[in-house]
Amino acid sequence: MASVDDPTRIVVAHIPLDDARDVSGGVTTGSVTIGDTDTMTIGVWEHSVGVSTDTENDEVFVVLSGRGRILLPDGSVLELAPGTVGRLLAGEQTRWEIDEPLRKVWVSAHDR
């Protein structure tokens, strides 16, 4: 069934990151799945101010609010701001440096 959601109004509960991923201390994140199809999942994700690391899934995202950057292993930097559209690849080791609380909508393909 088709649906429409306002991702700016969805409540996202945060939990603290584990010490292995929380670089700066006190970082929290949260995610809410807002839709599923046979081939993909759609959700809203938030990251508090701070620095963290992650191992990514294949994903396309759009930043709704907040600012920061993602540092990739090859030295490239993805600048994040409202309206930014990004693509992350499965297995990438990333470093998230968030200056303003970040909220994004993400779409990820199901594992085949």
* In the chain, domain spans: 15-109
Is pLDDT above 70 for 40?
yes
Outline where DSSP puts E strands in 1-112.
15-16, 28-36, 40-47, 50-55, 59-71, 77-80, 85-88, 93-109
Give the CATH H-level superfamily of domain 15-109: Jelly Rolls (2.60.120.10)
Is pLDDT above 70 for 112?
no
User: What is the per-residue pLDDT for 98?
Assistant: 98
pLDDT mean across residues, the chain? 94
Per-residue pLDDT reduced to its tens digit, 48-97? 999 999 999 999 999 999 999 999 999 999 999 999 999 999 999 999 99
User: What is the per-residue pLDDT for 3?
Assistant: 76
User: What is the per-residue pLDDT for 1?
Assistant: 65
Two tokens at 90?
Answer: 């499965």
Is residue 30 within 8 Å of residue 15, measured between CB atoms? yes
Identify the weakest region by mean pLDDT among 11-15, 34-38, 54-58, 70-74: 34-38
Percentage of residues of the chain with pLDDT beyond 70: 97
